[in-house]
Chain A
Amino acid sequence: MQTKTPAQERRDKIVFGTLAVFLFLVIWYLVTKLTAFGEIFPDPVTVLANIGDKFVNPLGKVTLAGHILVSIRRVMAAFVVAAAGGIVLGVTMGWYPVVEAIFKPIIEFLRPIPPIAWIPISILWYGFSEMSKYFLIFLASFFVITISVYSGVKSVDPMLIRAARMLGAKDNQLFTTIIIPSVVPYIFSGLQVALGNSWASIVAAEMVQSNMGVGWIIITGQQSSNMVQIVTGIVCIAVVGMLLVMIMRGLENKLCAWNKQGR
């Protein structure tokens, strides 16, 4: 077998990936045109045309781009707060046994609750306001990030702590030169899961209660039996979700190059 350079491999990935997407669209098109599935589901050309159209002409109050931005803004506002809080709490929990003793049981108890289970509370507390969405996104990301960072601090290699101590590291130096760098990959894996959770939760929240956003597109599509609009919303959710994951991965690869298992 001949070996390929990384550049060749990357090119192959792009080529085959593009081909696969194209093939998927062709099959989708053929199935809707040649079978009865076409009566209950729109073909991709119609959906893509609708997406293009709604980027120019408003859907409800704003264009498609407007809805996407509203959803992203909601996610980001709460996600950033949850990330900051989760990192701080996770690190202190890992470092100070007292903080661990106090918070760990609470967090372990709250973490398994799916974020959408909080929707009724968020509505009763915050009604239609943006705050109801922030509340939900915060819950969808905070616990995941906290636990991930906490377990990162717990799994710092004791050998490295010894090595640093032997070279005369004080506690604060130990923290900045060993603990923080060791935890960075755990921060990223927490952020990635949390962002996925958040994106899924915002769609659910908007479907229950909102007048804008990608979730709203889907639910109003259902209320007016507009299948093209529903599929438009779904495609947007998928594409944006994928882009968010890719951005996080890119960031991780940049900041944690050392963590990639070499070949």
Chain B
Amino acid sequence: MMGEQKTKAAGARVEVRNLTKKFGDLLVLDDISFNVEKGEFLCIVGPTGCGKTTFLNSLTRLYDLTAGEILVNGEAVDPKKHNISYIFQEYSAMPWLSVEDNIRFGLDIKGVPKQEAQENVEEMLEIVGLEKFRKQYPHQLSASMLQRVSIARAFATKPDLLLMDEPYGQLDIELRFKLEDELIKLWEKLGTTVLFITHNIEEAVYLGQNIMVLTNKPTKVKTVIPDEIPHPRDVTAPEFVKLRNYVTDMIKWW
């Protein structure tokens, strides 16, 4: 079980105001505004290439904004101050660190005491099922294992704001179900704010409190659909299927 939780993650509030992002002449995000409340679990779905990754990269200031602003707890985002974890769409495990040390990376950066860090690492190794591979290096791992290393590294720091960009796309079904449940547990326990990007509508309906549907480029928010089905959700329940079909209809851009 999880060790003594010293500081419960506060959950960050995100404000997006008139966000516009262009790459040269290509208008990707077109004057988008919305808020994500403290502790909210927001799933974001939208057509491929509509700018979902661009949005997260703008939020974290990996990209400069063309216009507008994004605030985290009322100020410009600063990963040194705000406790953020970002699971990228691409692999980002450090090739020179073992699985275990990769998972510990963020904890070391943040100066978490050794004992507490080790407990977190052990817990994460178990959650993502990599205990047996703790001493392996990334070049020895499969695609799914690499993705799980990134997931574990992101969870281990118990972030206030968790950004996930199609994190479960590489995983097989059982593993995906398991990690979806682990994410829900983590979220319920920590009160983390989660922004979860996915292509998988069932996954969005299974996880989110709100489901944001984006349009094609130039991208705007088409609608935000509340998902009030209580956890644990049953993907075969009639209300679940009904909501899934509704989201599917909303996402159709053809």
Contact = CB atoms under 8 A, between A and B. Distances in A.
Interface of A: 159-160, 162-170, 173, 177-178, 181-182, 184, 256-262
A156 to B, nearest CB: 11
Interface string B62-81: 10000000000000000110
B139 A261 contact: yes
Contacts of A167: 79, 84-85, 105-106, 109-110, 153, 157
Interface of B: 60, 62, 79-80, 83-86, 88, 90-92, 94-97, 105-106, 108-110, 137-140, 153, 157
B79 A181 contact: no
Contacts of B153: 167
B80 A170 contact: yes
8 contacts: A159-B92, A160-B94, A162-B88, A166-B60, A167-B84, A178-B94, A256-B96, A258-B137
Chain A at the B interface: SS class: helix
The 10 A-B residue pairs with the shortest CB-CB distance, nearest first, are: A167-B106, A163-B92, A258-B137, A166-B86, A181-B96, A258-B96, A262-B139, A262-B140, A168-B79, A159-B92
A258 B80 contact: no
A172 to B, nearest CB: 11
A159 B88 CA distance: 9
Chain B at the A interface: SS class: loop
B139 to A, nearest CB: 5
A260 B136 CA distance: 12
B109 A164 contact: yes
Nearest to B90: A159
B137 A262 contact: yes
B79 A159 contact: no
A252 to B, nearest CB: 13
Contacts of B88: 159, 162-163
A167 B105 CA distance: 8
Contacts of A166: 60, 79, 84-86
B92 A258 contact: no
A259 to B, nearest CB: 7
Contact of B109 (A169, A181, A259): A169
B95 A177 contact: no
Contacts of A168: 79-80, 83-84, 106, 109-110
Nearest to A167: B106
B91 A159 contact: yes
Nearest to B60: A166
Contacts of B92: 159-160, 162-163
Nearest to A178: B94
A167 B110 CA distance: 8
Contacts of A184: 96
Contacts of B79: 165-168
